[in-house]
Every structure is written in structure tokens, then in C-alpha cells.
């Protein structure tokens, strides 16, 4: 290949310098744009052979070694040592793993563990360092990074466990599955890539909740997936005061927001933090097994078991909120969910807030397109375009009264009222 500078790369470097200044000034959306430009720059200077190496084994090896490090609690060990870090030997002894698996062997004679244990530990730390998951202080001496420290928190750590053990097999088998059905677009949530990979007739969520440990990982990760990203309750995103607080009915017992399928209540917690003087009750609804995960000490909202495939029991609330719920279901199921809420809404008063990705018609970001592929792999469903959303909510007897998006690649807030 031509070794001369790539004009696209040079142009991207200029863009990075420009956006970098905005980032240094905490400009809105600058972090996301800088990240996108950095990825584009890497792609523009990467050789085809390097791209294949990265896609084919560098990234899969990073995923596998990160999961292994989580299983061995290596990130917790590094975090506890803070800036001092740990040697290969110290990590091996703490984890009871073969030092050769964790890093290259120094000398069997230096190890107090049986010699045959050395056969296993060397590669994990070397590759994690090479992929910037951890840092390296000296030879065979590793330190924590902000990312590795984050992986000691369940909302991030469980994301690796969940995506590795649940989504991973589906992605791995997706090409074979599509070939087996002659590349017909799958639409059956009970007979798709997930069932093919996991050899089960059960839909994704049925399978997941039959495995409480993985279901817990999923629920924990839902808070991690959203952490640090724009929330619709943030100032400058959705006008909460104007759209939800104004004209709120006054009186004891009035419900302000019902979070339908709201998981562990992360959105309601954020809402109460931003608006501590809430004008009405906050109600969280989800499956009983999810509600049971919430600490009894959490008193910021009411916790109620509810199946959103049944009629909504809370009538006439100011707002009903669905966050990342409908993308888990096909259109027919989603319309059913919406209609069950519609029956509880009050004309010219209640609003339905759908907090989901909206796929742009052009230049969609990788964060959106990859989530679309995750939905295909797990549920034979998809992320939706604006046209898709309008068609679906209208079929449920609703109309869209506004759409708000804070930053490129982030979730949007779709406001609906009774048609």
C-alpha cells in the first residue's frame, strides 16, 4: 500500500484539533464527537491486515481476557493496591491462577505454587495492558486504570458477564443462523438467532429469568449502560418543568410519573435528584423478581410488581415512562404494551414518554447500529427509525407531540399523547 500520508487522516487530525478545543471547554457533545473522530482516524490509517487482526483476534482476546480477569477478581486486587500496583506473582497468588496465564513466567524456582500451575497464567495481563484495560508500571508489574476500576462495580462488571455469556454465543452463531434460513429477516422472538445459539425454544426474557444470576447481571448492567450518558431529566434535554410540572393536578395521591418496566428504578432516582420537590407520586413497575432486587431502604418511589402485557393499573398519571422497553419487542408486542397504557391515560393531560434510540436515516453512529445488531442477536427485533416510531404509536391510538435528542448517538425522548 502507498505509505504516503492519508489525506483523510490529515483532515481528521484537523477536526480532532478543533473538537479538542471544545472538549477542553466542556462543550456539549464534544466528547462524543471526539470519540467518533478518533475511531475514524484509527480506521483511516489502519492497514487491511491490521484491521483483520484487530477484528479477528485482538478484540475477541480482549473480551475473553477481561472476562477471565473478572472471574479471577484481578481488577479488585489491582484496585485495592491503588497506585502501587501488583506484580505478576502477587496477582497469581491472590487469584490462585497459574502465573503464566496472568503474565510471562519469571522463574519456576521463584514461585511457591506447584510447578505445573505455571503452565497456565501468562497472557491475561499482557493483553489487557496492550488493549489499555490496565496499566503497566514496570516489567510484570501492573496498575489499575479508570476502566479496570470501573469493572469492579457491578453495574459495569456485570455488563461484561452478561454480554459474554448471553449475547456472545448469539453473535458467534449469527452468520450460521442467517445462512440456515437463507438470509430471510428474522422476526419471531421465539425462533431466532438467540434460540439457535443457545439451543432453546424460549424467548430471550423467558430464558434469562430462568437464570437468576444472569438476570441479575442484566438488571445491574442496565444502570451501567446509561451511566455518564445524557438523561432526559438533565437540564437542556427535555423541558420537564414546562411539559410535566406545569398543569400538574394538585391534590394528595396524584401520580406524577409511572416508570413502566423501569428495572431497579435508576430513572426515577435521577428524576428525584434533579427535581427534589416532585409534584406528585413516583411509581416504579417491573417484574416481581426485579422489584425484589431493590433494597428495602429505597423509599424515593413506590415499588410495584406489574406485567406490562396486562392493563395499566395506575389511572390518570401525568406521565407514563418506558425506557429501553419497546426495542426488546416486535411491533405487534410493542403495540400491545402501548395499548395497555393507553387505557389508563387521561385525554389532554397524560403523556407517554418513550426513551429509546431513534435510528437516523444517514450517518448513524456505531453505538446505535451495534445496539440494533444486539437486538437482532437476542430477540430478532430492531432499533427503530422516526418513521417506525410514528407508525407504531399511531397504531396504538397515540400521536407524537415532540422528539428531543441531546447528543448524537444517544437515546431520544419521544413524547406522546392520546390521538
Exactly one of 77, 90, 383, 415 is catalytic; name it: 383
Q: Which residues contact 368 (CB under 8 A, 6 or more apart)?
A: 357, 359, 360, 383, 409
Q: Which residues contact 112 (CB under 8 A, 6 or more apart)?
A: 93
Exactly one of 327, 411, 415, 417 is catalytic; name it: 327
Active site annotation includes 298? no
Q: 159, 144, 199: which is closest to 177 by C-alpha?
A: 199
Mean pLDDT of 181-206: 94
Active site annotation includes 76? no
What share of the chain has pLDDT > 70, as a percent?
Answer: 93
Question: C-alpha 14: how far from its chain's center?
Answer: 31
Residues 279-318: pLDDT tens digits? 899 999 999 999 998 888 877 899 999 999 999 999 999 9
**How, if at all, do strands 384-385 and 358-359 pair?**
parallel
Is 222 or 57 the better-scoring residue by pLDDT?
Answer: 57
Least confident of 56-65, 77-86, 167-176: 77-86
Active site annotation includes 50? no
Exactly one of 32, 33, 77, 356 is catalytic; name it: 356
Residues 104-115: pLDDT tens digits? 544 444 444 443
pTM: 0.86
Residues 117-168: pLDDT tens digits? 333 455 788 899 999 999 999 888 899 999 999 999 999 999 999 999 999 9
Mean pLDDT of 30-52: 94
d(CA 224, CA 226): 5
> Residue 396: which region, alpha, beta or left (left: phi > 0; alpha: psi -120 to 50)?
alpha
- Helices 168-180, 366-379: crossing angle, 10 deg rounding: 70
Amino acid at each position: 500500500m502507498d505509505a504516503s500520508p492519508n489525506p483523510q487522516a490529515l483532515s481528521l487530525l484537523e477536526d480532532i484539533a478543533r473538537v479538542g478545543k471544545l472538549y477542553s471547554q466542556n462543550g456539549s457533545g464534544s466528547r462524543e464527537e471526539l470519540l467518533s473522530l478518533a475511531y475514524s482516524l484509527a480506521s483511516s490509517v489502519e492497514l487491511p491486515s491490521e484491521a483483520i487482526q484487530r477484528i479477528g483476534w485482538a478484540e475477541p482476546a480482549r473480551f475473553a481476557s477481561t472476562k477471565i480477569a473478572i472471574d479471577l477478581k484481578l481488577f479488585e486486587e489491582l484496585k485495592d493496591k491503588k497506585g502501587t500496583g501488583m506484580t505478576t506473582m502477587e496477582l497469581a497468588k491472590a487469584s490462585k491462577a497459574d502465573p503464566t496465564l496472568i503474565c510471562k513466567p519469571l522463574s519456576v524456582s521463584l514461585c511457591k505454587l506447584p510447578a505445573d500451575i505455571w503452565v497456565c497464567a501468562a497472557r491475561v495481563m499482557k493483553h489487557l495492558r496492550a488493549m489499555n484495560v490496565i496499566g503497566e508500571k514496570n516489567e510484570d508489574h501492573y496498575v489499575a486504570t479508570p476502566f479496570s476500576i470501573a469493572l469492579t462495580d457491578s453495574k459495569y462488571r456485570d455488563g461484561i458477564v452478561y454480554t459474554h455469556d448471553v449475547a456472545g454465543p448469539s453473535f458467534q452463531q449469527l452468520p450460521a443462523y442467517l445462512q440456515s434460513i437463507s438470509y430471510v429477516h428474522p422476526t419471531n422472538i421465539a425462533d431466532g438467532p438467540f434460540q439457535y445459539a443457545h439451543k432453546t425454544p424460549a424467548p430471550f426474557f423467558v430464558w434469562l429469568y430462568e437464570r437468576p444470576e444472569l438476570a441479575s447481571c442484566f438488571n445491574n448492567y442496565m444502570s451501567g449502560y446509561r451511566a455518564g450518558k445524557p438523561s432526559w431529566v438533565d437540564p437542556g434535554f427535555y423541558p420537564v418543568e414546562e411539559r410535566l410540572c406545569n398543569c400538574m393536578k394538585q391534590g394528595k395521591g396524584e401520580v406524577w410519573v409511572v416508570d413502566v418496566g423501569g428495572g431497579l428504578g435508576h430513572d426515577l432516582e435521577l428524576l428525584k435528584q434533579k427535581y427534589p420537590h416532585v409534584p406528585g407520586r413516583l411509581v416504579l413497575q417491573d417484574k416481581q423478581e426485579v422489584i425484589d432486587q431493590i433494597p428495602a431502604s429505597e423509599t424515593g418511589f413506590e415499588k410495584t410488581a406489574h406485567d406490562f402485557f396486562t392493563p395499566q393499573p395506575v389511572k390518570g398519571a401525568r406521565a407514563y415512562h418506558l425506557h429501553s422497553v419497546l426495542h426488546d419487542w416486535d411491533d405487534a408486542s410493542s403495540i400491545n404494551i402501548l395499548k395497555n397504557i393507553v387505557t389508563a391515560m387521561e385525554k389532554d393531560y397524560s403523556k407517554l414518554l418513550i426513551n429509546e434510540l431513534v435510528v437516523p436515516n444517514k450517518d448513524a453512529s456505531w453505538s446505535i447500529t451495534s445496539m440494533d445488531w444486539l437486538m437482532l442477536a437476542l430477540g430478532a427485533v430492531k432499533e427503530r427509525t422516526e418513521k417506525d416510531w410514528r407508525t407504531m404509536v399511531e397504531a396504538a391510538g397515540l400521536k407524537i407531540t415532540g422528539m428531543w435528542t441531546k447528543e448524537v448517538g444517544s437515546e431520544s425522548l419521544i413524547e406522546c399523547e392520546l390521538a
